[in-house]
Structure formats: C-alpha cells, structure tokens
Amino acid sequence: MELPGLAFAVWMFICFYASVDSYPSGKIKEACTSMIPCHGSSPQLSPEHTITVNGTEFKPGDNIEVHLSGPDFEGFFIQARDAEHLDSPAVGSFMLVDRKLSQLLTCGRIKNSAVSHTSKAKKKYIKVYWIAPGDAPKRVQFLATVVKKYKIFWVKIPGPVVSQPNALSATTPLHATSEAISTSHSVSYLSKPFNASGCGSMKFCIRNPSNCDPESASCFFLSFQEEKSSVFIEMSGPSEGYLAFALSHDQWMGGDDAYLCINEDHSVHVSTAYLKGRSPPVLDSENVLEDVSWRLVDGILQCSFRRSISLPAYKGRFNLNASYYIFLADGEASEGGLIYKHRHQPLITNGIYNVTGLPQDIGGSRSLQLIKAHGALMFVAWITTVSIGVIVARFFKPVWSHSFLFGKEMWFQVHRMLMLTTVMLTSISFVLPFIYRGGWSQQAGFHPYLGCTVMALTVFQPLMAGFRPSRHAPRRQLFNWFHWSTGTTARILAVVTMFLGMDLPALDLPDPWDTYTMIGFVAWHVGIEILLEIHSYCLVRKVEVIEDDRVQILQSLTSAEAEGRLFKQVVLTIYVCGNIVFLIAFLAAINHI
C-alpha cells in the first residue's frame, strides 16, 4: 500500500513543530556559568528590563529583596555574584515568593543559588529574596538573563551592587574584572588606520579575507612585529563591540592567553585575559601592556600595544617565542563593557606559528576542513542521493518494471544503489565531528542528538530491507509500512538536523541565506512529490469509464502508470537538475565561494 506525498509534508510539519521549544520549564542548569540560553542566536544589547533591590548594604545572614520587572517576558535567570569578579560562581542563596512563577536552582555546589521561570507563560514582575552567606564578598552584584521570545533575549543584565559595611562605594560601574586593572600605562588615540605594508617581510600578519586591506570595512587584521625584547601588536576589524585574539596550544578554546580590545562607551579598553574552558574571559587585574593606542571610526575597531616576549612573573601569559595556534574573534559588548559570546566561529590558523620567527602573511579559517567535509557529505547524501532514491522507488516502479539492470528491475537497482550511497556518505560524515572534537560536543544543542538518531535509522533501514518478505507474502504489507515509516522519519529528522547544524558557528554559513535555501529545497521536494501524486491520480481517472453508475477499470494501475512514462522522466530530469543546483549552492556556501 502506497502512502500519499501529502503525508510526508504533514509528518515534516509535526517534527519541525516539536523541535522548536527549548527550556520551557526553566530548568537550565547548563547556563549556570555563562547565563546564556541555547537559542541559537545572539543576545540583544539594550535591556528593556531592570533589577532593583530594597537596600544597598548587607551583613551575612541578611535578606535582600530583589525585583525583576519590565515588558512581558517568558523566561528569566537570576544570580548574585562577586561584583569584583563577575565570572566567579554564584554567591548566596535565594528564597521564593511565588512558586508558580519562579523556582530555585543549584549552580555548582551552592544550593538555591539561582532563580528561573517555571513555564514560558508571560510575566511582567518577579520578586525573590537573596540570603547573604557568611562568607559573602565585600560587594555583590545581581545579574539577570531575560527571554522575551525564543530569539529575543538579554544576557547578564547588570543590577544594583550591594555592599557590606565599610566596603568601597558601590556607585562605580563594574564589568567582568576589568575595573581593577591598572591604568598606569598611557593610552593614546591612533591618528591614522593600520596598513599591511611589511606583512611577510617585516611583520607576521594574519588577514581574513586573504590579502585584505586593514582599512576596508570587511578586513580582520592581526600583525606581530618583533622589536628587541618585545613584540608590537596591531589588531583591526569591523566591530563596534570587541576584538580579541588568543594564543593556544590546540584548536580548542580553553587554557589560552587572550588579548581584548573592548569598546566601552566609544572609548576602547585594552586588556589581557585568560580563557578557562568556554566560560567568558577572565580579565587580568594587572596590566602588562605598553604603548596602548586605539581607533574607532566607521565601525572599524583598531588597537595596538606592546608586550614583552617573556613574562615569567605573570601566570597565564605565554612566551611569544614559541609556536601556537592563533584565534581571532569579534563580538558584541554592552555599554558597560560586558562582552558577549563571539557572533560567529573565530578565525583559527590552520597550523601552529611562531610570531617572532620568520615573518609570514597568512590567512585562516572560520570553519575547519573536517567540519566542512561533514556538512558537504551530509548535503550530498540527504539532498541528492536519498531524495532521488525515494522518488524513483515511489513513482518509477511501473515505468521501469520491465527494464532490468544486473538481473533486477531497474527501479530497484537504482533505488538500492542510491540508498547504499546515502548510508556510506552518512557513515563517513558521522565520524568526522567526533574526530574534530575529540569526543562529544556539549555546545551544539540538539544537533548531535538528532544526528545520532538519523545515523541509527540510516543503518537500520538497509538491515531491515535485507530481511524483507517475498512480494506476495502475508507480512509484506507490514514490512512496506515499517520500511516507509523508518525511511520517512530518517529523512525528516535529517532535514531538521541540517537546519540546526547550519546555525552552528563551526560551519560558518551565511545567515539567513542558508536557512532560506534549505526551506526552498524542502518546498521543492514536497512540490515535486505532490505533482507526481496528482499526475498518478489523473492518469487513473483518465482510464475510468462510467457505465450505469458502475466504475469499470479498463487497465490495471501498473499499465496506467506506464502511460505517463515520458511525463515522469521529464519531471525526474528537472528534479535531479534542481537538486544539483541546491547542492552546488550549499557547497559554495560551505567554502565561501
């Protein structure tokens, strides 16, 4: 029994609808450190919501009344942290006022150290109590993440600072740990932009795109020039938030020596930092940089500074006469200097380099080759081979039933060849991210979970086909249903997985062009299936003769389908050409052609 193409569209709609929601229950312990929801988009910059408290001083054991208010919002996440070290763990515990709207979470080892929503019902006001612990720091600041809608949210909205008696004034704005940074070194304004002269001969340069001009609005530029016992560094790129580079022993974020240029209210602050895992950078309390200069014009942020080659007295600062992978990233920053996660995958050099060695002029990649190969193979498998194989099996049995290839009906051989190719491509592609990551990724959301499900269904489908009953066996109809259901589920989940994967920074596809193209492909495939279904129905109706209110079928369904051979072959040719166009578009996007 064949199922209509409309069932595919309905099934796809259900799967897409089911995959939209994220953390509606508010149990978001994964965000304890970063306070960033995994919603696949960047946070907003100007908060609409405010945090207020009923006092500015506290003693251990005191209760502070905390209010979060503003326009309608669905979700929230509130913490208190050391105001001098906002990257540190949560401080103290909370007590609820309304358990219908809020719930307590345990972040790290501190019970009830955070508060979040219980559902995504709209709310305007939240009230809780913060209980000051016995070992509370001198100054504590409240932070909140607020989700207005799935794609609209604000991260770490700064709230009031409350202090213990005799602590420093709480009126000074704080962000990360940068307020404690020494300002003994002079800072000047660059009178003119950087240029690429000397790259490869006198300076070690990294440029993206390759050979771009640092004065252009799309050029990311980083240069190192050795001068006796120090290195003069220039960094430039299109960003009104921050630019950063890091030296790393591997191609993973964590344990790295980082340098940031942050736009703070139209003035650029330059700082060293240490990257611990995927947490926000910890800005250093001591400044080891000299001759700091900056420039911010027409959305292009530029900064330069000098650093000694060796800094043995400063933990976390790497020697510049060794070889490292080099990261270059940019992102958004709030008006107070609070930085957010980089907007897209950082630029990473393809190998390790010594910036004080032989001068070179190199580029880098925002998407490493293994991830590019993973995406390309999945696109080939699920946009071309599997889609064409399904069309052939569904609509070309009657057309090619009397044509044989290697002793079997042609439609079956073509279908089997395409499906086995899909299994092979998917299997190869499946292992590439594990090789790249060295294990499981905790930062890819639902993509890896759905990918594993698709892989399991992809392997199960041919195994099940190998045990199919004979054509006229009683269980053949049951097999047909299972075979169709497993294949259709795998196709739908594969499309959903690709949608989620295209938004991951590691692939670095142009957004939103990639999403629109994927929607176009889904519409193209469903449209072709509906067209062929309508054609089959019309062909059957054409051979019906009405006599005395009785329907007499003059030809069998198989013969009727065979009459449409020319039409189906034309449609198949157009469909294959269309799929190739979509595939070329995706491959071009992966390689940034």
Q: Predicted confidence band at 295 (pLDDT cuts at 50, 70, 90)? A: confident
| Mean pLDDT across 470-499 | 89
Of 74-83, 365-374, 570-579, the one with minimum mean pLDDT is 365-374
Residue 13 scores a pLDDT above 60? no
Q: Predicted confidence band at 7 (pLDDT cuts at 50, 70, 90)? A: very low
- What pLDDT score was predicted for residue 243? 92
- Read off the pLDDT of residues 167-184 as tens digits, 9 standing for 90 and up: 644 333 333 333 333 333
In sequence order, the 6+-apart residues with CB closer than 8 A to the CB of 434 are: 440
Residue 107 scores a pLDDT above 90? no
Buried b (16+ CB within 10 A) or exposed e, 71-80: eebbbbbbbb
- What pLDDT score was predicted for residue 195? 87
- Read off the pLDDT of residues 112-142 as tens digits, 9 standing for 90 and up: 899 999 988 899 999 999 999 988 999 999 9
- Read off the pLDDT of residues 226-235 as tens digits, 9 standing for 90 and up: 998 999 999 9
Residue 275 scores a pLDDT above 60? yes
- What pLDDT score was predicted for residue 187? 67
Q: Predicted confidence band at 502 (pLDDT cuts at 50, 70, 90)? A: confident
| Mean pLDDT across 238-250 | 89
Q: Among 146, 155, 180, 181, which Cα is nearest to 73's?
A: 146
Residue 142 buriedness (CB in 10 A; 0-12 / 13-18 / 19+): buried
Cβ 218 vs Cβ 202: under 8 Å: no
Q: Which domains does the chain have, with CATH numbers?
A: 29-163 (2.60.40.4060), 188-365 (2.60.40.1210), 369-592 (1.20.120)
Residue 555 scores a pLDDT above 60? no
Residue 224 scores a pLDDT above 80? yes
- What pLDDT score was predicted for residue 67? 94
pLDDT above 70 covers a percentage of the chain that reads: 82
Residue predicted with more confidence, 359 or 12: 359
- What pLDDT score was predicted for residue 422? 93
Arithmetic mean of pLDDT over the chain: 81
Cβ 445 vs Cβ 500: under 8 Å: yes
Q: Predicted confidence band at 4 (pLDDT cuts at 50, 70, 90)? A: very low
Left if phi > 0, otherwise alpha if psi is -120 to 50, otherwise beta: which for 442?
A: alpha
- What pLDDT score was predicted for residue 24? 55
Residue 150 scores a pLDDT above 90? no
Q: Predicted confidence band at 318 (pLDDT cuts at 50, 70, 90)? A: very high
Residue 10 scores a pLDDT above 50? no
Q: CB pairs under 8 A, 24+ apart, for 27-31?
A: 27/103, 27/105, 27/116, 28/77, 28/105, 28/116, 29/105, 29/106, 29/107, 30/442, 31/77, 31/145
